[in-house]
Structure 1
């Protein structure tokens, strides 16, 4: 197989950025899911923060992102966020430092999928901009050097993990990493990478009326592969090499109503495309650990000592280990 497309999503659940190549690191592609939005609930008992994901806040798909990578002239880099009104309506862009200075930012506790961490409140200027578009109070947060624990059992056991120590330099991942042997995550859901197959996407698109195709970016992939011989064969992929990088594909990815969202309107989809989750539930509920969710794609972690390798579109991808049976999703609090 070959790499067809690569994506990062600097702000969780907003539109992603297509890449032609990227360094690869234990935490994921540099700058992937380092920012996130939370809805603010002010209650009698205090302030509560609700994580924002496109499945619940469908207008998030109307925000596009782009970046300028850090360099000697601009060591902070730039993140551009543009809100597109539907039907070719007005557009408005805000510029954010890709690597913000955090010393004067307020720190708050956040939780994502039962894996808590701390994040930095980016401040009134950015919060007001996002709140204006959503129509309620929003805070825009930056992960900084904080990390979430990966909660899949077995990720930190024994001798194999000793070689998973990060040797990445600041030029590859300017956020710093630390010397912790536990597998850690950014604001990515359950793994640093999501790998999907275009062969299986054809099966998904075939469920739509003639002339319609499923938008693969609705599945939020990092690595898209083409050339798989069979539909859904990725369910059994255990390990893979892409260029000089090696990945462990440990779990399936269960899908939610985010794949029903109409990316043109920012609202729940209508017609056949708005029922894609139900269509896939007919035959893709194949993981007993996520028995209510149809499966599309595999969560992946970087193999030992592969920090700093570069992968790019066109690279050969080889499955180096196949599992005899499907894996069982077992993230505490999420698995069934």
Structure 2
């Protein structure tokens, strides 16, 4: 098997960027989900409330493309180019673009406590220059938040070290993490619950076979980081426990299934929940892919993983992939209070 595609998502729930090469780190690919959007709401007492924006609840997020310009001699900070496509996209009604610094300074920025799936960290309000642009596109007020050097803790038994805690068990891993930096070596940005999502191209092709002739499943709707080609059978990845990837043989420990939500139905054409039969992928998968006892109502597609060992390991499209450990039975999804992922 080999690596077929690599993806990074610099702003959570917006469309991602395809990469030819990058490096593996403990908290994911560099710049993956280091920004996220928050909807500004007001409660009955007039107080500001910030709501995390995820694509299943805000399908219009699928209308935003991102392009990653890595740091270079001319621009040592790099940037994200965000393009908003006015729907319906096929009618070419126009676009708007915004440049966001990839590594902005945080001095003087408002600090925000951001909790995702009971795991908290501190983010930074990027300010009116960016918030106003996104607010105009969405039609309601939003804030662009940056995570900086802060990270979130992995909860439940998702982390490879979950059962090796110094206190003697799993309990300490289900206590929410508050603060600026996690002292655990397995940490997250604004990704839902793992550093990496690995999917098999063979299984993507199997999903395509459920659609009408001429239609293919868009793998990016599954929001993978690593797409592996060459698996002999669809769904064999359910039993992958560990992969060796790249020329260095870096190990990725696969700790959990990715249990799905309706985000895989979102139309990239309209930024709404898809209504055609070929867009009802979630329904098609519920027929036979509800195979995780920890999330019995949600279909499974892909495996969550974490880097084992030191970080900054080069990885590129075309690199070999070997399954170095298989499981005798499927893992059970275990993240307190979370039953599905939108990535």
| Separation of aligned partners in 1, 2:156 and 2:196 | 14
| Separation of aligned partners in 1, 2:62 and 2:181 | 33
| Separation of aligned partners in 1, 2:149 and 2:70 | 18
Pick from 296, 300, 313 the counterpart of residue 309 of structure 1: 313
**SS of the residue aligned with 2:282?**
helix
Q: Report the equivalent of 1:219.
A: 222
Distance 1:276 1:102, change over 3 A: same
Matches within 5 A, 1:75-154: 75-85=76-86, 86=89, 87-153=91-157
Aligned partners of 1:156 and 1:181 also within 8 Å: no
Q: Report the equivalent of 2:213.
A: 210
**SS of the residue aligned with 1:181?**
coil
Unaligned runs of 5+ in 2: 167-179
Deviation at 1:91, TM superposition (A): 1.0
Deviation at 1:73, TM superposition (A): 3.4
Distance 1:108 1:202, change over 3 A: same
Q: How many residue pairs were aligned?
A: 319
Q: Report the equivalent of 1:261.
A: 266
Matches within 5 A, 1:160-239: 180-239=183-242
Q: Deviations over 1:153-204 (max 9, x none)?
A: 36344389xxxxxxxxxxxxxxxx9783342100111100000001011111
| Separation of aligned partners in 2, 1:156 and 1:229 | 31
Deviation at 1:44, TM superposition (A): 3.0
Aligned partners of 2:254 and 2:305 also within 8 Å: yes
Q: Report the equivalent of 1:14.
A: 14
Deviation at 1:274, TM superposition (A): 2.6
**SS of the residue aligned with 2:62?**
helix
Matches within 5 A, 1:282-321: 282-305=287-310, 307-321=311-325
Aligned partners of 1:149 and 1:182 also within 8 Å: no
**SS of the residue aligned with 2:198?**
strand
The Cα RMSD (Å) is 1.7
**SS of the residue aligned with 2:256?**
strand
| Separation of aligned partners in 2, 1:73 and 1:206 | 46
Pick from 247, 266, 280 the counterpart of residue 275 of structure 1: 280
**SS of the residue aligned with 1:267?**
coil
Q: Report the equivalent of 1:171.
A: none
| Separation of aligned partners in 1, 2:137 and 2:338 | 31
Unaligned runs of 5+ in 1: 161-176
Q: Report the equivalent of 1:170.
A: none
Q: Report the equivalent of 2:177.
A: none
Deviation at 1:125, TM superposition (A): 1.2
